[in-house]
Structure 1
Amino acid sequence: MAIRKKSSKNPPVLSHEFIVQNHADIVSCVAMVFLLGLMFEITAKAAVIFVTLQYNVTIPATEEQATETISLYHYGIKDLATVFFYMLVAIIIHAIIQEYVLDKINRRMHFSKTKHSKFNESGQLSAFYLFSCVWGTNILVSENYVSDPTSLWKDYPHVLIPFQMKFFYISQLAYWFHAFPELYFQKTKKEDIPRQLVYIGLYLFHIAGAYLLNLTRLGLVLLVLHYFVEFLFHISRLFYFSDEKYQKGFSLWAGLFVFGRLLTLILSVLTVGFGLARAENQDLNLTTGNFNVLGIRIIVLSSICGTQAFMMWKFINFQLRRWREHSSSQPQSLKKKFVTTKGRPSKKERENGVNGTVTSNGADSPRSRKEKSS
Structure 2
Amino acid sequence: MGIRDRKKPSSKNPPVFSHEFIIQNHADIVSCGAMIVLLGLMFEISAKFAVVFVTLQYNVTVPGTEESDSVSYYHYGFKDMAAVFFYMLAAIIVHAIIQEYVLDKINRRMHFSKTKHSKFNESGQLSVFYFISCIWGGSILFSDNYISNPLSLWEGYPHTLMSFQQKFFYICQLAYWFHALPELYFQKARKEDIPRQLIYIGLYLFHITGAYLLNLNRLGLVLLVLHYFIELLFHISRLLYFCDEKNQKGFTVWALLFILGRLLTLTLSVLTVGFGLAGAENQVLDVNSGNFNVLFVRISVLAAICCTQAFMMWKFINFQLRRWREHKQTQNLKKKSVNTKNKPKRENKENGTNETITLNGADAARGRKEKSS
2:371 corresponds in structure 1 to none
1:315 aligns with 2:311: no
Q: Quote the Cα distance in structure 2 between the aligned partners of 1:70 and 1:97.
A: 37
1:157 corresponds in structure 2 to 158
SS at match of 1:133: helix
| Percent identity of paired positions between Structure 1 and Structure 2 | 73
1:331 corresponds in structure 2 to 332
1:228 corresponds in structure 2 to 229
Residue 360 of structure 1, CA deviation: 5.2
Q: Quote the Cα distance in structure 2 between the aligned partners of 1:12 and 1:125.
A: 32
Residue 325 of structure 1, CA deviation: 1.7
Change (3 A) 1:235 1:362: farther
SS at match of 1:75: coil
User: Of residues 331, 353, 357 in structure 2, which corresponds to 1:357?
Assistant: 353
Q: Quote the Cα distance in structure 2 between the aligned partners of 1:363 and 1:114.
A: 59
Residue 199 of structure 1, CA deviation: 0.6
1:262 corresponds in structure 2 to 263
1:29 aligns with 2:32: yes
Q: Quote the Cα distance in structure 2 between the aligned partners of 1:262 and 1:272.
A: 15
Q: Quote the Cα distance in structure 2 between the aligned partners of 1:74 and 1:199.
A: 27
Matches of residues 1-374 of structure 1 in structure 2 within 5 Å?
A: 2-4=2-4, 7-61=10-64, 63-65=65-67, 68-344=69-345, 354=350, 357=353, 359=355
Q: Is the 8 A contact 1:2 1:28 kept in 2?
A: no
Q: Quote the Cα distance in structure 2 between the aligned partners of 1:334 and 1:89.
A: 52
Greater CA deviation, 245-254 or 4-13?
Answer: 4-13
Residue 329 of structure 1, CA deviation: 2.5
Q: Quote the Cα distance in structure 1 between the aligned partners of 2:33 and 2:340.
A: 65
Change (3 A) 1:288 1:109: same
SS at match of 1:241: helix
Q: Quote the Cα distance in structure 1 between the aligned partners of 2:141 and 2:345.
A: 64
In the comparison of the two structures, how many residue pairs are matched? Answer: 357
Partner AA of 1:319 in structure 2: Q
Residue 338 of structure 1, CA deviation: 2.6
Q: Quote the Cα distance in structure 2 between the aligned partners of 1:219 and 1:264.
A: 10
Partner AA of 1:199 in structure 2: Y
Partner AA of 2:22 in structure 1: I
Change (3 A) 1:300 1:9: same
Q: Quote the Cα distance in structure 1 between the aligned partners of 2:66 and 2:288.
A: 28
Residue 339 of structure 1, CA deviation: 2.9
Q: Quote the Cα distance in structure 2 between the aligned partners of 1:179 and 1:188.
A: 11
SS at match of 1:57: strand
SS at match of 1:357: helix
1:21-49 superposed Cα distances (whole Å, 9 cap, x missing partner): 00000000000000000000000000000
2:365 corresponds in structure 1 to none
Q: Quote the Cα distance in structure 2 between the aligned partners of 1:246 and 1:84.
A: 39
Q: Quote the Cα distance in structure 2 between the aligned partners of 1:113 and 1:340.
A: 32
Q: Quote the Cα distance in structure 1 between the aligned partners of 2:155 and 2:310.
A: 28
Partner AA of 2:353 in structure 1: T
SS at match of 1:38: helix
Partner AA of 1:108 in structure 2: R
Q: Quote the Cα distance in structure 2 between the aligned partners of 1:259 and 1:266.
A: 10
Q: Quote the Cα distance in structure 2 between the aligned partners of 1:361 and 1:8.
A: 71
1:146-200 superposed Cα distances (whole Å, 9 cap, x missing partner): 0111111111110000000000000000000001110110111122111111110
Q: Quote the Cα distance in structure 2 between the aligned partners of 1:216 and 1:157.
A: 10
Structure 2 unaligned runs (5+)? 361-373
Residue 362 of structure 1, CA deviation: 11
1:369 corresponds in structure 2 to none
Q: Quote the Cα distance in structure 2 between the aligned partners of 1:330 and 1:298.
A: 48
SS at match of 1:184: helix
Q: Quote the Cα distance in structure 2 between the aligned partners of 1:114 and 1:361.
A: 57
Q: Quote the Cα distance in structure 1 between the aligned partners of 2:344 and 2:144.
A: 69
1:62-90 superposed Cα distances (whole Å, 9 cap, x missing partner): x3447x21110000000000000000000
Change (3 A) 1:357 1:344: closer
